[in-house]
Amino acid sequence: MNYAPQILNYLRSSEGIREIYIAPKSVPVEKKEDKFVKIMDVIFTPDDVRDTLIALKSYAYYSGSSLGREGTFSFGLQGIGRFRVSYLTQRGSYLICIVKTPYEIPKLENLLTNVKALQPIEDLVNLRSSGIVVVTGQTPVAVSTFVYSYLQHVAQNYYRIIYIIEKPISFLLRHERSIVVQVEAGVDVETFEEALRNAFLIDPDIVYIGYREFISEKDAKNVLRLVDTDTVVFIHAPYLEKDHFLKEFPYLKKHIKYYVVVEKDKDGMLEVKL
């Protein structure tokens, strides 16, 4: 049975970042801090999980023809929020993680506890300098929400070309003073590598490379080329330790201007540390 309507209706009830897990032979739960909260009194069968996943994927801009063994997709529902859905196969059945973020990108002042901490990055953008800003944190969705909030601030206040590469797209960023180009790997182009190469076709001022489990050597060298063309590159890295990132790509060291760690407090606000 498809339980997507009930789950989306539950997520409609509050704002902020929410995280839902759906597994076979279990009730669906919401992860809150260090505990799980039951959201329905129904124990899902493997067929229930699959049918719900198919229904959720139908909302995506590019739904594709089959689920495959694992994947991610995103979609937005006005008045409810934006959703990033990830799934994998375990013992022949699907397990689903649904992360809800606000439909509209939050303003920096409503999202961060310490907006003034961003002044060094603001100076980097304002002065049209080049360099790499590595952004990381324990919660990928919190990191992407922060980056989009900052890029929205840039789009509203500066005349820049902003080039975004993600899989899937987290938010839709509007053109304002800036021109925004958003490319989804696997939809608009085949791979992240191709999307990164295409950046050189439009000479962007700012590039955002969304979350990836692995950054390849080719990608790192393309980032270096972008920096050499006076571009500020934001990288959402999986590494929580600065030394780990530098060990992987030592030749990027002198180009990394800031290493930003994003943390979420108990009230759902974000704090950044440079």
Based on the fold, state whether residues 235 and 138 are members of the same structural domain: yes
Based on the fold, state whether residues 72 and 144 are members of the same structural domain: no
pLDDT for res 239: 66
Q: Which domain holds residue 76?
A: 4-101
Read off the tokens for 247: 């060990």
Based on the fold, state whether residues 95 and 195 are members of the same structural domain: no
Cα 202 from Cα 57, distance rounded (Å): 32
pLDDT for res 27: 96
Sign of CA dihedral 245, 249, 250, 255: negative
Last residue of a domain, one of 66, 101, 136: 101
pLDDT for res 101: 82
pLDDT for res 51: 95
Based on the fold, state whether residues 253 and 215 are members of the same structural domain: yes
Last residue of a domain, one of 49, 69, 101: 101
pLDDT for res 208: 96
pLDDT of 114 strictly over 60 = yes
CA count, 13 A, side-chain hemisphere, 69: 4
Q: How many domains does the chain have?
A: 2
Phi, psi at 95, each rounded to 5°: -120, 135
Give 124-133 pLDDT, tens digit per residue. Answer: 898 888 999 9
Based on the fold, state whether residues 116 and 96 are members of the same structural domain: no
Based on the fold, state whether residues 141 and 186 are members of the same structural domain: yes
Give 54-106 pLDDT, tens digit per residue. Answer: 999 998 876 566 888 888 888 888 878 888 899 999 989 999 999 888 778 88
Based on the fold, state whether residues 112 and 202 are members of the same structural domain: yes
Average pLDDT value over all residues in the chain:
88
Give 7-61 pLDDT, tens digit per residue. Answer: 998 888 776 778 899 999 999 999 887 789 999 999 999 999 999 999 999 988 7
Based on the fold, state whether residues 115 and 223 are members of the same structural domain: yes
Based on the fold, state whether residues 129 and 29 are members of the same structural domain: no
Give 138-180 pLDDT, tens digit per residue. Answer: 788 889 999 999 999 999 999 999 999 998 888 889 999 999 9
What CATH number is associated with residue 60? 3.30.450.90
pLDDT of 246 strictly over 80 = no
pLDDT for res 216: 83
Are the C-beta atoms of 165 and 196 separated by less than 8 Å?
yes
Whether this model's pTM surpasses 0.75: yes
pLDDT for res 240: 56
Name residue 98's beta-bridge partners.
20, 85
Based on the fold, state whether residues 63 and 145 are members of the same structural domain: no
Last residue of a domain, one of 81, 101, 121: 101
Q: Which residues, in sequence order, are CB contacts of 53 under 8 Å at separation 6+?
A: 67, 85, 87, 94, 96
Q: Which residues, in sequence order, are CB contacts of 114 under 8 Å at separation 6+?
A: 271, 272
pLDDT for res 115: 87
What CATH number is associated with residue 151? 3.40.50.300
Check residue 37 and report its DSSP letter.
E
Are the C-beta atoms of 272 and 114 separated by less than 8 Å?
yes
